[in-house]
Amino acid sequence: MTDNLNECIVTRLDTLDALYFFAQSVEPNSARLTWIRRSFSSAPQDLRARVAAELEAEIAWLRIELGAIATDDELRGLHAEAVSRAQQGNVYLPKWYVEAKLFANYERVLPRWPDMKDHAFVILDSATGRKTNAVFELEGALFRDVQFLLAICRESAATAPDFRARPAEQQHRLHSSLRSVTTVVFHFLEAYLNGLGFDCIHRHCQGLSADEKELLAEWDSKRNAIRYVSFEKKLFRYPVIVGRAEGIAIDMSGCRPAHYIAGEGKKRRDALTHPSPYPDPASGTLEKFQLLATLSLGTVEDIVSAAKDYVLFVEEHLKRDVRETAPWLFERTVAPAESVDSSKAKTE
């Protein structure tokens, strides 16, 4: 009887460790649970029985608060796996997985939860269990990259506004940064568009036609193989499909940022992504070389501004609170000099 009671208490303590880990509430509860774990075995049986009952009630309360879906056994197993990987870094859990398999009420942990993209990842500190209050959204991380690189461009250009007065090293730093921004801003847009497609399939799979699902997933069901969708088609078609799935009519024909990105912006992206010394077959000119040689801070700023305005246009027309669904669009740009002290950096 004593052994069974002790085992019961240990199991319930393990369950609470798991629940508080996923609830990111380890710190305020760790000392109490650790003290119980160290002390309960020497207590009289009636007191241990009361401790077991109180732990069971605490588990039940937590499960209700979080809307727990997973069983206690499953949560303990996941927690043990997370702790075993502590040396490998943080644990990343997709929002869609958390909602489907773990907890139905995770906004009790992260207030922005209802507005977060389904493809976003919750970040859990597997080493200490400390609350990170952070998520990883690839498009957000890439937009921060864009802003950081753009700050370098501006800093380099401001040091010597007249390009003829710039030292060769400074000139290279500027143009290297300009090329990097132009590439990364399209990575950002690709991540945003693919995220739109994933979330739409996840939320509205049953309401989509077969062609729409294949377009959003970039999949050919007849060949059972990937079928890549052109960037331009994603840019104009994805928001329309997502809007229709959500009962919203979106007209992308009047979206100026989309047209600029698909035109002038993409020309420069293509010149970098597919560099070629050959003359353009139609014009006979070295168009790609000219596009790269004339890449300027003003042009890059226009491309970045259009990318931001495009996301704002889509999110607002989908009737979303953009400051909640894409808060990284409004974050203060971190200057290169400010990024040196990594201890002050926030987890993405």
**pLDDT tens per residue across span 269-318:** 999 988 888 887 888 778 888 888 889 999 999 999 999 999 999 999 99
- Look at residues 74, 108, 136 and tell me which one is the last residue of a structural domain: 136
- pLDDT class of 172 with cuts at 50, 70, 90: confident
What residue has token string 């700050």?
151
- Could you tell me if 238 and 193 are in contact, meaning their C-beta atoms sit under 8 angstroms apart? yes
Q: Return the bridge partners of 136, or none.
A: 121
- Look at residues 80, 103, 136 and tell me which one is the last residue of a structural domain: 136
- pLDDT class of 119 with cuts at 50, 70, 90: very high
> Same structural domain for residues 157 and 303?
yes
> Same structural domain for residues 296 and 273?
yes
Higher per-residue pLDDT: 344 or 278: 278
What's residue 2's pLDDT? 64
- pLDDT class of 342 with cuts at 50, 70, 90: very low
Rounded to an integer, what distance in angstroms lies between the CA atom of residue 49 and that of residue 54?
Answer: 9
Question: Mean per-residue pLDDT for 306-332?
Answer: 96
> Same structural domain for residues 74 and 22?
yes
Residue 59 one-letter amino acid: I
Rounded to an integer, what distance in angstroms lies between the CA atom of residue 303 and that of residue 315?
Answer: 19
Contacts of 249 (CB under 8 A, 6+ apart): 243
> Same structural domain for residues 230 and 200?
yes
Rounded to an integer, what distance in angstroms lies between the CA atom of residue 195 and that of residue 199?
Answer: 6
Residue 260 one-letter amino acid: Y
What's residue 52's pLDDT? 96
> Same structural domain for residues 43 and 184?
no
> Same structural domain for residues 132 and 142?
no
What's residue 337's pLDDT? 59
Q: Which tokens in the block code for residue 35?
A: 């003290």
Q: Is 281 left (phi over 0), alpha (psi -120 to 50) or beta?
A: alpha
Q: What are phi and psi of 88, to 5 degrees?
A: -90, -5
Q: Three-state DSSP class for 281?
A: coil
Quick one: how far is CA 329 from the chain centroid?
13
Closest to 308 measured CA to CA, from 348, 263, 344, 261: 261
pLDDT at 344 over 60: no
- Could you tell me if 132 and 24 are in contact, meaning their C-beta atoms sit under 8 angstroms apart? yes
> Same structural domain for residues 314 and 176?
yes
Q: Return the bridge partners of 91, or none.
A: 124
Q: What are phi and psi of 226, to 5 degrees?
A: -65, 140
What's residue 346's pLDDT? 43
> Same structural domain for residues 126 and 204?
no
**Which structural domain, as residue segments, surrounds residue 159?**
138-344
- pLDDT class of 162 with cuts at 50, 70, 90: low
Q: Which tokens in the block code for residue 61?
A: 């309360």
Rounded to an integer, what distance in angstroms lies between the CA atom of residue 107 and that of residue 110?
Answer: 5
- pLDDT class of 335 with cuts at 50, 70, 90: low
> Same structural domain for residues 324 and 292?
yes
Taking only the tens place, the pLDDT of each residue in 179-236 is 999 999 999 999 999 999 999 999 999 999 999 999 999 999 999 999 999 999 999 9
Q: Return the bridge partners of 122, or none.
A: 93, 135
Question: Mean per-residue pLDDT for 19-27?
Answer: 95
What average pLDDT does the chain have?
A: 91
What's residue 345's pLDDT? 35
Question: Mean per-residue pLDDT for 121-145?
Answer: 93
Domain count, the chain: 2
DSSP conformational letter for 104: S
In the chain, the percentage of residues whose pLDDT exceeds 70 is 93
Question: Mean per-residue pLDDT for 310-329?
Answer: 97
- pLDDT class of 160 with cuts at 50, 70, 90: low
In the chain, the percentage of residues whose pLDDT exceeds 90 is 76
Terminal alpha carbon distance of the chain: 49
Higher per-residue pLDDT: 273 or 13: 13
Residue 341, number of CB atoms within 10 A of its CB: 8
Taking only the tens place, the pLDDT of each residue in 59-81 is 999 999 999 999 999 999 999 99
> Same structural domain for residues 130 and 157?
no
Question: Mean per-residue pLDDT for 17-31?
Answer: 95
> Same structural domain for residues 58 and 128?
yes
